[in-house]
Amino acid sequence: MNIPQLRMHSQMAQIQISQESGEQTIRQPKADVTIQQPKPEVSITTTPAKLSIDQSKAFADMNLMHIFQRNKAFAQEGQTSVLEGISRRVRQGNELMKLENEGSPIVNQAVQNAHPKMKTLGITFIPSLFSVKLNSQPAEVNIEVETKQPIINATPNKVEHRYERGNVAIEMKQYQDLTIEVIQLES
């Protein structure tokens, strides 16, 4: 018996997708900036320094003093000498009143009065140490600075944006197909 045979031949459908990419560019131009810095105001005030030098004691030590000072010094020296003389005479008078005591006051007083005091040798034209008085007042400096704020002007520029859309195309590359054949097999 002959049974027919069916042969099927099928072809699948195929889709073709083609794509064009989109393109986007973004550009940010730099901002326009101007900066100005005003100069600060500076004021400087100074109080000058003061220096005072007092040499009067140094001049007095060298015996180079003003006439009024010299008169005062001579008067003081005279008064001191008078008081020393009075004191010596009182002391010697008391010694003579007490002749009955031991010793010989007349001889002792004669020796004392016969020989004057030895004058001391010394350099009198050099002033004593620290006889020149210095007084100083330092200078004062006052500095005032008034700063100014900077002037900043900034103008931003807009963003440049460009966009091209992409495209997707879908088409049939191959259509589906089904073929059925009946084949008679001979035995």
SS (H, E, C) 26-82: EECCCCEEEEECCCCEEEEEEECCEEEEECHHHHHHCCCCCHHHHHHHHHHHHHHHH
Is residue 69 domain-resident?
no
- Cα separation of 106 and 84, whole Å? 20
* Token reading at 16: 């073709």
β-bridge partners, 181: 7
pTM above 0.75, yes or no: no
What residue has token string 């064009």? 20
Q: How far, in whole angstroms, is CA 153 from its chain's centroid? A: 33
Is residue 164 domain-resident?
yes
Is residue 50 domain-resident?
no
Is residue 88 domain-resident?
no
Q: Which helix (H) or strand (E) holds 160?
A: strand 160-164
- From first to last of its 187 residues, the chain has per-residue pLDDT tens of 677 888 899 999 999 999 999 999 999 999 999 999 999 999 999 999 999 999 888 888 777 888 888 899 899 999 999 999 999 999 988 888 888 777 788 888 888 888 877 777 766 677 888 888 999 999 999 999 999 999 999 999 999 999 999 999 999 999 999 998 888 777 6
* Terminal C-alpha separation, the chain: 8
Is residue 9 domain-resident?
yes
Is residue 77 domain-resident?
no
Q: Residue 170: which domain range?
A: 1-27+160-187
Is residue 174 domain-resident?
yes
Is residue 181 domain-resident?
yes
Q: How many domains does the chain have?
A: 1
